[in-house]
Amino acid sequence: MRISLGRDPETGKRRYHNHTVHGKRRDAETYRNGVLRDRDLGNFITGSTITVKEFLDQWLDAAQRTVAYATHEIYKQHVKDYVVPHLGYRQLRDVRPADIEALVGKWSQVNLSASSIHTLFHELRAAFNKAVRWKLLANNPCTHVDLPKYRKPQMLAMSPEQASRFVEQAKSNRYGTLFILAIFTGMRPSELAGLKWQDIDFERGFVSLQRNLVWLHKKGESWKFGNLKTEQSRRAIPLPPMILQLLETHRRTQQQEIEKAKENRKELDLVFTGSGGNPVSIKHITRYYFKPLIKELGLPSRFRLYDLRHSCATVLFALQENVKVISERLGHSRVQVTLDRYIHVLPTMQQQASDKLEKSLLQPGTQEAHTPKSQSS
């Protein structure tokens, strides 16, 4: 069977689809009508012979222009380690949902957690969605694939009382100013690591976020300044006098330390540094400065430096701050992201809700206050 697909928009030559149908005449007619329908709707795939590996290389190249550097590096590593060894040689058009099911099974066999499997799957599904948009696939083979059950862990956040004790205790910590700035501004750890003194306006009292700092794994390179996650991530956050004073004190101490290490001095103008003015390692300060502080306060050991960002949002929410204001402080593109990911209902909030209901519904005199007066006929 030969079906005309019209002229190629680039070359002007006629295109044809050749296909053999094994069955009855009506089966051939059904197939032909389906192809013509898809052709007219612009959904017919001509049958590219590109392999999964070749396609994923193209997808990674395109993603490089739309995602953060660190995210792109993770995508590359995941494709290399978990997809290409199993599907890379296959032609993209031949991949079926059963193949994705088998791939998920292989991931389970190498003891990947359910969380990691869900992450890998969602990345692969996003890649195949791009293949559909590029007209390389008619349908996404990740559709209707069953995944291991996974309960997303609840993010940790401090209550206002815990946050207050944390700030007070952090003042005597080597990197206490960084921790306090994190919980006050909601900045990401990478944003704090990339912060420069030129970004802080001491006269007008605000910090302007312009970049982040990314640690690399390439030979000959250790770190680089990167672009912020989204356009909304470029934001200015007001700072109160107390934090400005902490930053001033921190700058004097930092300058003294750099002077003592002249042989390793780096002119980077970074606010938070390691020895000699070198960029600070988030892993290092987490292990040797943040975790001990968390332990002193009796907070869960799995509490991360990133959870100070969650705490900022949660405390502001507990103080009844407008969600739009919280979202802008965190640099989110949509308020819904803030609500879904960062606002954690603290036990104290539920208690306050119960207290309000008790006051409204159960306390003596409440019913009388809310009962409408009977009208005379």
Say which CATH number the domain at 108 has.
Answer: 1.10.150.130
- Residue 107 pLDDT grade (very low, low, confident, very high; cuts 50, 70, 90): very high
Which residues are paired to 200 by β-bridges? 207
- 323 has a pLDDT exceeding 90: no
Q: What is the pLDDT of residue 369?
A: 47
171 & 296 share domain: yes
- The domain of 195 spans 160-341
Burial of 23 (0-12, 13-18, 19+ CB in 10 A): exposed
For 41-88, how does the pLDDT look when each residue is reduced to its tens digit (9 = 90+)?
A: 665 565 567 899 999 999 999 998 888 777 888 999 999 999 999 999
Domain-embedded: residue 193: yes
Label residue 365 by pLDDT band (50, 70, 90). Answer: low
Q: What are φ and ψ of residue 314, in 5° steps?
A: -70, -40
Residue 5 three-state SS: strand
Residue 176 sits in the same domain as residue 266: yes
> For residues 56 and 8, which has the higher predicted lDDT (pLDDT)?
56
Give the chain's domain count. 3
Q: Determine contact, residues 314/157, Cβ cutoff 8 Å.
A: yes
Q: Which amino acid is at 101?
A: E
Residue with tokens 């290092």: 284
What is the pTM (predicted TM-score) of this model?
0.69
Q: Which two tokens stand for residue 109?
A: 């066999």
Same domain, 83 and 169: no
Do 195 and 277 reside in the same domain of the chain?
yes
Q: What 8-state DSSP symbol labels residue 281? A: P
Q: Report percent pLDDT > 90 for the chain.
A: 42
Residues 258 and 201 in one domain: yes
Residue-level pLDDT at 15: 65
Spatial distance between the Cα atoms of 187 and 243, rounded to a whole number of angstroms: 14
Rounded CA separation 118/155 (Å): 17
More confident residue, 232 or 377: 232
Exposure letters 33-63 (e unless 16+ CB within 10 A, then b): eebeeebeeeebbeebebbbbebbbbbbeeb
Q: Are residues 126 and 98 in the same domain?
A: yes
Average pLDDT over the chain reads: 84
Indicate if 111 and 232 belong to the same structural domain: no
Helix (H, G, I), strand (E, B) or coil at 175: coil
CATH label of the domain that carries residue 241: 1.10.443.10
Those residues with Cβ within 8 angstroms of residue 280's Cβ, 6 or more apart along the chain or in another chain? 175, 178, 193, 270, 272, 273, 274
The residue-averaged pLDDT of 327-353 equals 78
The band of 305, judged by pLDDT with boundaries at 50, 70 and 90, is very high
Do 317 and 208 share a structural domain? yes
Which phi and psi angles does 185 have, rounded to 5°? -100, -20
Q: Which residue has the higher pLDDT, 115 or 358?
A: 115
Q: Tell me 277's DSSP state.
A: G
Radius of gyration of the CA atoms of the chain, in A: 29
Higher pLDDT, 373 or 65: 65
145 inside domain: no
Residue 189 sits in the same domain as residue 332: yes
Tokens for 132, please give them: 């559909």
C-alpha to C-alpha distance for 139 and 125, rounded to whole angstroms = 11
Reduced to 3 states (helix: H, G, I; strand: E, B; else coil), residue 223 is strand
**346 pLDDT tier (thresholds 50, 70, 90):** low
Which residues, in sequence order, are CB contacts of 125 under 8 Å at separation 6+? 140, 142
Write out the H or E segment, with its range, that includes residue 213: strand 212-215
Average pLDDT over residues 89-99: 89
Cα of 5 vs its chain's centroid, Å: 42
Q: Do 214 and 320 sit in the same domain of this protein?
A: yes
Q: What are phi and psi of 32, to 5 degrees?
A: -60, -45
Q: Are 122 and 74 in contact (CB under 8 A)?
A: no
Q: Are residues 65 and 186 in the same domain?
A: no
Query: Per-residue pLDDT tens for 170-221?
Result: 999 999 999 999 999 999 999 999 999 999 999 999 999 888 888 876 555 5
- For the segment 150-179, the average pLDDT, to the nearest whole number, is 90
User: Would residue 367 count as lying in a domain?
Assistant: no
Whether residue 76 lies inside any domain: the answer is yes
Helix segments in the chain, DSSP class H: 25-41, 52-63, 69-78, 84-87, 97-109, 114-133, 160-170, 176-185, 189-193, 241-260, 282-285, 291-296, 307-318, 323-330, 335-341, 347-357, 366-370
Are 148 and 172 spatial neighbours (Cβ–Cβ below 8 Å)?
A: no
Within-domain flag for 363:
no
Mean pLDDT of the 321-335 span: 87
The Cα–Cα gap between 27 and 17 comes to 17
User: Does residue 331 have a pLDDT over 50?
Assistant: yes
Is 357 part of any domain? no
> Whose CA is closest to 131, among 64, 69, 74, 51?
51
State the Cα–Cα distance between residues 279 and 217, nearest whole angstrom.
Answer: 15
The verdict on 167 and 213 lying in the same domain is yes
In this predicted structure, the answer to whether residue 226 has a pLDDT above a threshold of 60 is yes
